[in-house]
Amino acid sequence: MAMDDFNRCLDNCGLLKIPSKGHKLSWCHSQEGHAQSWARLDRVVINENFLRSFPLASMEYLSRKTSYHSPMFIKGSSVDGRYGSEPFWIQNMWTHRPSFLDCVAAVWREPSLEKGFYKLASKLKKMKVALKSWHRRVFGHVNNTIKELEERIELVEDKLQMEYHKELELELLVSKAEL
């Protein structure tokens, strides 16, 4: 009855449910065993103006990490939207390693023929290359490991949404602990 009222309200307001991808269920109370319960509580609704502006829009439930609810990612088009090279960020964990400052200092001390901002740009490019290399040496391929664990968690959650198995629940707990 309440769901019928909700759907009637959406219709009266001219709101439409956006197509979704990924997980079909958005919430889990994370109890163990057969008491575990999944539901689709969270939705994204749009109006006609939004649909005209973004006809290929979709929504994806992402993996739950720290909440009972899955975050929702709204995509305005089917185009990836990335241009140019991948952005470079300094990871906070790097600063806790003494060899980090050694790497930075070594690049900064290298002589450069450029002047002014050209010199700065040149040093920053060299810094990016040196820090990426240093990261691989010191931390290995931690980004790949994190991505693999997140993908494993997502796969196990998909399976648990369809049918509960104690082994799957254990695999989910182990994967989350590793992450």
Query: Same domain for 1 and 77?
Result: yes
Domain contains 179:
no
Domain contains 162:
no
Query: Same domain for 4 and 79?
Result: yes
Query: Same domain for 65 and 16?
Result: yes
Query: Same domain for 69 and 39?
Result: yes
Q: How far apart are CA 95 and CA 128, in angstroms?
A: 15
Q: What pLDDT tens digit does each residue of the chain (179 aa) get? A: 788 898 899 889 999 888 777 766 666 666 665 556 767 667 788 899 988 888 888 888 776 666 666 777 888 775 566 666 778 889 888 999 999 999 999 999 999 899 999 999 999 999 999 999 999 899 887 878 888 888 888 888 888 877 778 888 888 888 888 87
Query: Same domain for 74 and 2?
Result: yes
Query: Same domain for 79 and 9?
Result: yes
Query: Same domain for 5 and 63?
Result: yes
Query: Same domain for 69 and 33?
Result: yes
Domain contains 172:
no
Query: Same domain for 4 and 45?
Result: yes
Q: How far apart are CA 120 and CA 112, in angstroms?
A: 9
Its domain, for residue 124, covers 92-139
Q: How far apart are CA 133 and CA 138, in angstroms?
A: 9
Give the model's pLDDT for residue 117: 93
Domain contains 144:
no
Give the model's pLDDT for residue 41: 66
Give the model's pLDDT for residue 27: 62
Domain contains 173:
no
CA distances from 117 to 95, 113, 114, 122, 124 (A): 25, 12, 8, 8, 10
Question: Is 3 exposed, middle or buried (CB count within 10 Å of its CB: 0-12, 13-18, 19+)?
Answer: exposed
Query: Same domain for 63 and 2?
Result: yes
